Structure 1
């Protein structure tokens, strides 16, 4: 996402992105309890955008709102990664196929930007930059697929999956994961619907392997 897009985001969207990133990267540790006031102070935004961001995160299952007791960050259990992927696989295939069919020049530029960002992240061994590129790819996919119902279903599952990947796979999985994502982007830009769907499925198989390894540790 470029600087103009970030500037044009609402305060609620910026608060959401900041909190989502903190949860995914475990800065807000799984199972810990915080408060709305602490998050307002942490982010530097007003009460309304932070509260709205918290409501969205609660709907996505990343935060539990406990009246008069604070906000609990969702726990992280390795076995749940497979459940996330079970729910995610079908919708990712739908999005990939639709993106290849309907992609636009604007979405294509976003795909190319995310591929380049992933390449740079691998060269720099920068996990946070990789996660940001992965998020940008998800946003490009949602734009290109022209299916808001599938995109809204996929978004929280993608966030949960990034969180699991960061916890269990980031040390060894960067280059391999990037290669699969870049191949998916290539199929979409080639408007190869069947190829894009197959690459999306291969990526989910890769993630399932990571999830199964995490369970066995």
Structure 2
């Protein structure tokens, strides 16, 4: 099991240079113009956030293998940080259902089933489809035009075959659409479901670039229909998008 250092996780890349993070163990003086906040806390929060983003990307890309156990110190060495921000990030992933904590052993990546993905797709559709159809009837074309950069970002990530980047861009696009409903709780819940739906199944082949490109094309087609206020096409595209999720 991959617990013994850099060679055990060849796919993971250092995110903060090499060696352990010295800022974890000492406090710097704050610049005179800054608020009197201990620099160590700011640095630790920043490091933890970077590690969390890297671990989430590794989950989406399949570099963290479902069913395998990973130790905090081994991942910390791989990322070039101490074990503390890794453990903190892993605890957040445990709350999200991505890993489970094993006392004195590390963290096991949760192995899901195709049924789990189907259930997530069904719940996402129940939440997002009615909202998108309601927005299609009320949001002006200018607001949809403003989402073109978000749709373009998904197309660019898809063309590059960058699965983690596509995952982020895909969530950003859906988040931008749902934000037009002006319901923060809706956006938060939908984002969490979307993130969970992106984790691969055990042994699943890497997502093909062609599949990413096709998915991104649906975003652009949806925007065009929304701008034109072609409600039948909007409904068809939205339902097909979730049916293929």
Aligned residue number for residue 184 of structure 1: 222
Residue deviations 1:84-123, cap 9 Å, x none?
A: 11222112225534665569x89964x3222112333444
Q: Does 1:81 align with 2:117?
A: yes
In structure 2, the CA distance between the partners of 1:95 and 1:48, relative to structure 1 (3 Å rule), is farther
Alpha-carbon distance between aligned partners in 2 of 1:23 and 1:187, rounded to the nearest angstrom: 33
RMSD: 3.5
Per chain length, whose mean CA-contact separation is higher, i.e. which structure has more relative contact order (CA < 8 Å, sep 6+)? 1
Distance apart, 1:31 and its partner CA: 0.9
In structure 2, the CA distance between the partners of 1:45 and 1:195, relative to structure 1 (3 Å rule), is farther
- Unaligned residue ranges in structure 2 (runs of 5+): 1-44
| Equivalent of 1:149 in 185, 189, 194 | 185
Q: Does 1:117 align with 2:191?
A: no
| Equivalent of 1:130 in 142, 163, 166 | 166
Residue deviations 1:41-61, cap 9 Å, x none?
A: 333456564444323211221
Q: Does 1:206 align with 2:241?
A: no
Alpha-carbon distance between aligned partners in 1 of 2:145 and 2:50, rounded to the nearest angstrom: 24
Residue deviations 1:1-26, cap 9 Å, x none?
A: xxxxxxxxx62443322211111111
Aligned residue number for residue 170 of structure 1: 207
| More helix by percentage | 1
Question: Secondary structure of 1:156's partner?
Answer: helix
| Equivalent of 2:127 in 91, 103, 126 | 91
When structure 1 is superposed on structure 2, of 124-133 and 68-77 the one drifting more is: 124-133
Distance apart, 1:206 and its partner CA: 2.0
Q: TM-score, normalised by structure 1?
A: 0.71
Question: Secondary structure of 2:180's partner?
Answer: helix
Alpha-carbon distance between aligned partners in 2 of 1:184 and 1:151, rounded to the nearest angstrom: 19
In structure 2, the CA distance between the partners of 1:75 and 1:179, relative to structure 1 (3 Å rule), is same
Q: Which has the larger radius of gyration?
A: 2
- Unaligned residue ranges in structure 1 (runs of 5+): 1-9, 208-217
Question: Secondary structure of 2:199's partner?
Answer: helix
The size of the alignment, in residue pairs, is 197
Question: Secondary structure of 1:61's partner?
Answer: coil
Aligned residue number for residue 55 of structure 2: 19
Q: TM-score, normalised by structure 2?
A: 0.64
Alpha-carbon distance between aligned partners in 2 of 1:107 and 1:42, rounded to the nearest angstrom: 42
